[in-house]
């Protein structure tokens, strides 16, 4: 698993598509009802965090992937994809992050209880 935060002991794992569709150095956005999750491939390892910046309502998917960090397109705060930490102001609150893995050629994530 990629997320450095505590992990649930089991899934359910949700299929995010073929790993070929998320090559290293790229991101994709998963939308489920009004919740958006950003999935990034960092050197072959998938990471999943909330897509909405914690400062204002900006989609990090529209920002820049910089190694294991994503930079917000609006005011430039960077977040660590490994643990969701806000690294720069003006964002002060960390992103939620989710377990992610590559399994049988598919990218999979777990959406934690309470999120839709
Ligand atoms: S909206 Fe992301 S840093 Fe302001």
Spatial distance between the Cα atoms of 2 and 110, rounded to a whole number of angstroms: 11
Q: Model-level pTM? A: 0.89
Spatial distance between the Cα atoms of 91 and 72, rounded to a whole number of angstroms: 9
The domains located in the chain, with CATH, are 13-110 (2.102.10.10)
Cis peptide before 12 (omega within 30 of 0): yes
Q: For ligand 1, is residue 75 a contact (CB within 6 Å)?
A: yes
Q: For ligand 1, is residue 92 a contact (CB within 6 Å)?
A: no
Model pLDDT for residues 42-92, shown as the tens digit of each residue: 999 999 999 999 999 999 999 999 999 999 999 999 999 999 999 999 999
Burial class (CB in 10 A: 0-12, 13-18, 19+), 113: exposed
Distance 61 CA to ligand 1 centre (A): 12
Task: Tell the residue nearest (CA) to atom 4 of ligand 1.
Answer: 75
Cβ-based neighbour number of residue 57 at 10 Å:
7
Atom of ligand 1 nearest to the CA of 63: 2
């Amino acid at each position: 698993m990629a997320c450095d935060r505590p992990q649930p002991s089991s899934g359910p794992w949700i299929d995010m598509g073929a790993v070929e569709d998320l090559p290293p150095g790229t991101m994709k956005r998963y939308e489920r009802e009004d919740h958006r999750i950003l999935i990034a491939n960092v050197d072959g390892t998938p990471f999943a965090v909330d897509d909405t910046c914690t400062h204002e309502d900006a989609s990090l998917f529209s920002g820049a992937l910089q190694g294991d960090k994503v930079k917000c397109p609006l005011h430039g705060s960077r977040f660590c994809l490994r643990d969701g930490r806000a690294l720069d102001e003006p964002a002060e609150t960390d992103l939620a992050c989710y377990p992610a893995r590559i399994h049988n050629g598919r990218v999979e994530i777990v959406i934690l209880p309470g999120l839709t």
